[in-house]
Amino acid sequence: MQIKRLENFQSSDALLLLLREEDCENLSSIPNLNDELRNILSALISRKDFKGKKGSLLRVPLIEGNLYLLGLGKTEKCDVKLIRNSLAWGLRTIGKSRNKNASVILAHLNYDELSFALGEAAGLCSYTFDVYKTKDKDYEPFALTEIYSDVYEPEDFGKGIIFADAQIFSRSIANEPGCSVWPQVMAEKAEALAKEYNLTCEVWDEEKLKAEKMGGILAVGSGSKKPPRLIHLAYTPANPKKKIAFVGKGITFDSGGLNIKPDNYMLTMKGDKTGACNVLGIMKGVAELKPDIEVHGFLACAENMPSGSSYRPDDIIRARNGKTIEINNTDAEGRLVLADALCVASEQKPDAIIDMATLTGACVVALGKSRAGLFVNDDELAGKILASSEKRGEPYWRMPLEDENIAESLKSPFADLINSGPRYGGAIFAALFLKEFVGEKIAWAHMDIAGTDFADKEYGIYPKGATAFGVRTCLDYLLRV
């Protein structure tokens, strides 16, 4: 890509100009606009065809190509987050209109870390899930050829692109249906990633899982013809400052098992592997960013299916750390695969563990679909994650890890634990359950991304489908840890 200072606009198919309401009232704030554009703009603005309202997009056909005006709303409310979202959405919309390339004009916008967000937007706009459409794809890949900005910093922009690519990598797997991605396929994707980037990768198949006493992941995977896998990727630089482990829930399809999900509750459950996909995305980002931190990624993969070999309600299973679990609902499977994986991650004695999981419908009820639940046993870790989440525009809400009554309901009359509790506080119950498998004195964060994993319709940086929410927050955290 060519980065240009604003002088004479080059002719691209599409010229995208981002404008706040105040910019429309004062066109002289946009430096060096050429006469042709200035005349068009003042005409449109004086006719009130365009006022810079947030989310407004006006296409103006030019003799060559198109000019797009994208409104950012009021200056006082405009920030990098808004620009990231608006730009990604604007560029995606331009891509849908068959433009082959675009230039973006931001010469009048001066915000801290704008280049980073531009990189993220430029990367994130280019993805929609259309590999299975044989015709009428609604989006043509196009090139962002020029950026007109005075605050452009190539290194930050490059980082933004790496972050975006990591997120898109996760999305591209999370969007695949259960008929094309199952645990062994996840293992093959991890192995391919490891080979490409020189990471280490170890895969535990069902035999090894038995030998390693991984009773949770084996039970959940037992009903499926596709056996479960535990995947361990590692990035190990020479003198690491810290060691961080990520753990992802990788249920390649969640039918509920014998406690089968009713009618349309099963739809979108191909997305129940998003946590594991995010860990793959994070490992890709880490391999490209090369921080001086040792990073481990664990993917706990199984397919939750009903069959003659399924695990059953009433079963009592034994997790990796020896704790026994009475099953009262086979649909509360994520916590069982994570239990084993958290034990294995803890054995690495990392400075922190972050797990990500589409874990509970209760979390979606509590927080809606734009915020993820964050449960952390360590305030410093919580602070760092929340700071990164703010920077990257992925909102979390900190949830309680303490509740005597819910803790009491984890007890089973016949085993050490029961896998599901009363209806109320379901997300907290699940987090408290996971806590039982995290090693002593390890800082640990659990991200419940059940609500944020999937966009019902496109908005901002998200096309319809898998969002891979969380990847950029975790990468950002790794750069600051």
Three-state secondary structure of 355-377: EEECCCHHHHHHHCCCCEEEEEC
Round to whole Å and give the CA distance between 378 and 421.
Answer: 25
Q: Please tell me whether residue 310 binds ligand BES under the rule CB under 6 A.
A: no
| Least Cβ distance, residue 456 to ligand BES (angstroms) | 11
In 305-442, DSSP assigns E strands to: 316-318, 324-326, 352-357, 372-376, 396-398, 417-418
Query: Is the CB of residue 448 less than 8 Å from the CB of residue 143?
Result: no
**DSSP secondary structure letters along 331-357:** T--HHHHHHHHHHHHHHT--SEEEEEE
Q: Please tell me whether residue 476 binds Mn ion under the rule CB under 5 A.
A: no
Q: Please tell me whether residue 146 binds Zn ion under the rule CB under 5 A.
A: no
Site residue total, Zn ion (CB under 5 A) = 4
Tell which one of 420, 452, 467, 473 touches ligand BES (CB under 6 A).
420
Tell which one of 120, 176, 303, 331 touches Mn ion (CB under 5 A).
331
Q: Please tell me whether residue 370 binds ligand BES under the rule CB under 6 A.
A: no
- Of 45 and 431, CB closest to Mn ion: 431
Query: Is the CB of residue 443 less than 8 Å from the CB of residue 375?
Result: no
In 217-343, DSSP assigns E strands to: 229-235, 243-254, 294-304, 316-318, 324-326
Closest CA to 449 of 431, 462, 468: 468
The strand pair at 465-466 and 454-455 is best described as antiparallel
Query: Is the CB of residue 129 less than 8 Å from the CB of residue 462?
Result: no
| Least Cβ distance, residue 180 to ligand BES (angstroms) | 19
Contact letters for Zn ion, residues 256-275 (x by CB under 5 A): ----------------x---
How crowded is the C-beta side of 447, counted as CA atoms within 13 Å?
32
Q: Please tell me whether residue 254 binds Mn ion under the rule CB under 5 A.
A: yes
Candidate list 261, 318, 323, 398, residue with the active-site label? 261
Tell which one of 21, 326, 331, 340 touches ligand BES (CB under 6 A).
331
**3 state SS of 123:** helix
Query: Does residue 213 have an active-site annotation?
Result: no
Contact letters for ligand BES, residues 157-196 (x by CB under 6 A): ----------------------------------------
Q: Please tell me whether residue 219 binds ligand BES under the rule CB under 6 A.
A: no
Three-state secondary structure of 48-88: CCCCCCCCCEEEEECCCCEEEEEEEECHHHCCHHHHHHHHH
The strand pair at 229-235 and 352-357 is best described as unpaired
Tell which one of 37, 83, 450, 478 touches ligand BES (CB under 6 A).
450
Give the tokens for residue 78: 């405009």
Site residue total, ligand BES (CB under 6 A) = 16
157 Cα distance to chain centroid: 19
Query: Is the CB of residue 116 less than 8 Å from the CB of residue 159?
Result: yes
Q: Please tell me whether residue 216 binds ligand BES under the rule CB under 6 A.
A: no
Query: Does residue 261 have an active-site annotation?
Result: yes
| Helix pair 154-174, 114-124: axis angle to 10 deg | 30
- Of 165 and 272, CB closest to Zn ion: 272
Residue 480 CB coordination number (10 Å): 11
**Which span sits near ligand BES by CB under 6 A: 31-39, 354-362, 370-378, 471-479?**
354-362
Q: Please tell me whether residue 254 binds ligand BES under the rule CB under 6 A.
A: yes
Round to whole Å and give the CA distance between 98 and 92.
Answer: 10
Tell which one of 252, 321, 346, 358 touches ligand BES (CB under 6 A).
358
**Which span sits near Mn ion by CB under 5 A: 101-109, 136-144, 161-169, 325-333?**
325-333
Tell which one of 228, 334, 425, 463 touches ligand BES (CB under 6 A).
334
Tell which one of 146, 254, 340, 355 touches Zn ion (CB under 5 A).
254
Tell which one of 6, 332, 344, 442 touches ligand BES (CB under 6 A).
332
**Identity of the amino acid at 415:** A
Q: Please tell me whether residue 299 binds ligand BES under the rule CB under 6 A.
A: no
| Least Cβ distance, residue 269 to Zn ion (angstroms) | 7
- Of 62 and 267, CB closest to ligand BES: 267
**What is the set of active-site residues?**
261, 335
| Interacting residue ranges for Mn ion, rule: CB under 5 A | 254, 331
